[in-house]
Chains A and B, each alone.
Chain A
């Protein structure tokens, strides 16, 4: 199976390391970015397309909502799956993010299982029982 490419966008280096560990354990190839603009630059210069972005909301320079809008406005990135990973936990905020084009929404704090289950919902992890005949 080909590599799954993820970009983790969070202004906290501690949170970037936590998410990097989790998605690396899931077998993904991970790029890290410190805010929305940094992520757009890294996507622009990468030699591969990205399958999924894990996006914090509150960040300097360009926040997660603005990043989502920028990605949705760029036809080159129409195949990127967008998942907010944020401490913003009001339903109104979830509605805003989904309306802007986010595909999923995970609230901080989270466990590694919670990240894996959301990625499975998004079809980015192929469950083991489908790859090997039971």
Chain B
């Protein structure tokens, strides 16, 4: 049984208020999948009963548990498939048209976690542009634990099951014990570094053509969000794009960006930079 409409509305209001995450209609399955284990642990038969419990005055612990269950970092490959599809179809041709063949395309996967976003981009770019095309991806995260796994490129069976197209699994992975190892060919173009978005960036970052900063800003207060966006703008190449999570926006945080829609993808360009070089072709 999917979660009831009234319960879903209440839960989406709660996570919007507490974590600024928007759960639109259609995400009922997500609520059901994440809250059912909590309901079971509380000895309740279903998700609706658990939500009704949490709705009672004073039941703050259940509410906090709901918010945490729905905001846990996702680590799937090609997360939000439509974003990657638009990146491939719309953005990549513009990036290629804007430069010489020997100039590498530089991409930053900010808050890269265990590396799925960075490797997904590498697979897609290699498939689209061929192995000879130069590109560099830098993945950064605060946690040394996730960076270590990202560098090794070893994933469990459960991890490779999450959104990885079968053709890529066949092409870029090999068995390693009970799990899977990503190929050295992909690792060649990717570096993982420790970086805290909330403090000034370390020297030595290149300028990036595309910055993926998805579902990260939600964890920070407004002044920190502003500081992060300002610093990100400083490492973006002229005409470069910033990609946020599908429910996120720079609006109301930083006026220095303007929205450019490309299919299912919302990208932001710095208005302060001379963007005509690339966006003139749109």
Q: Which of B26-34, B133-141, B193-201, B220-228 sits within the interface?
A: B26-34
Tell me which of A116, A118, A128 contacts B25 (CB under 8 A). A128
With known contacts A91-B170, A116-B29, A128-B27, A107–B157 Cβ distance under 8 A:
yes
Chain A residues numbered 84-108 whose CB sits less than 8 Å from any CB in chain B: 89, 91, 94-95, 97-98, 102, 104-107
Q: Complex formed: what's the CA distance from A125 to B249 in Å?
A: 24
Q: How large is the interface on A (under 10, 10 to 19, 20 to 34, 35 or more residues)?
A: 35 or more
Tell me which of B24, B32, B170 contacts A128 (CB under 8 A). B24
Contacting residues, chain A, for B249 (C-beta < 8 A)? 134
Chain B residues numbered 60-92 whose CB sits less than 8 Å from any CB in chain A: 76, 78, 80-82
Contacting residues, chain B, for A22 (C-beta < 8 A)? 29
CB–CB B2/A25 < 8 A: yes
Q: Complex formed: what's the CA distance from A22 to B266 in Å?
A: 30
Q: Complex formed: what's the CA distance from A27 to B246 in Å?
A: 22
Q: How large is the interface on B (under 10, 10 to 19, 20 to 34, 35 or more residues)?
A: 35 or more
Chain A CB within 8 A of B158 CB: yes
Q: Which of B23, B170, B247 has most A Cβ within 10 Å?
A: B170
Chain B residues numbered 174-190 whose CB sits less than 8 Å from any CB in chain A: 174-175
Chain B CB within 8 A of A132 CB: yes
B251 to chain A, nearest CB (A): 10
Q: Complex formed: what's the CA distance from A130 to B83 in Å?
A: 10
CB–CB B246/A129 < 8 A: yes
Chain B CB within 8 A of A127 CB: yes
A25 to chain B, nearest CB (A): 4
Contacting residues, chain A, for B30 (C-beta < 8 A)? 113, 116
CB–CB B166/A132 < 8 A: no
CB–CB A89/B25 < 8 A: no
Q: Complex formed: what's the CA distance from A112 to B158 in Å?
A: 12
Tell me which of A27, A114, A121 contacts B165 (CB under 8 A). A121
CB–CB B166/A104 < 8 A: yes
With known contacts A118-B163, A128-B25, A89–B157 Cβ distance under 8 A:
yes
Tell me which of A25, A97, A126 contacts B29 (CB under 8 A). A25
With known contacts A25-B2, A134-B247, A117–B32 Cβ distance under 8 A:
no
Chain A CB within 8 A of B253 CB: no
Chain A CB within 8 A of B161 CB: yes
Chain A residues numbered 22-47 whose CB sits less than 8 Å from any CB in chain B: 22, 24-27
Q: Complex formed: what's the CA distance from A106 to B30 in Å?
A: 19
Contacting residues, chain B, for A97 (C-beta < 8 A)? 166
B254 to chain A, nearest CB (A): 17
A binding-site residues for B, Cβ under 8 Å:
22, 24-27, 89, 91, 94-95, 97-98, 102, 104-107, 109-114, 116-118, 120-121, 123, 125-132, 134
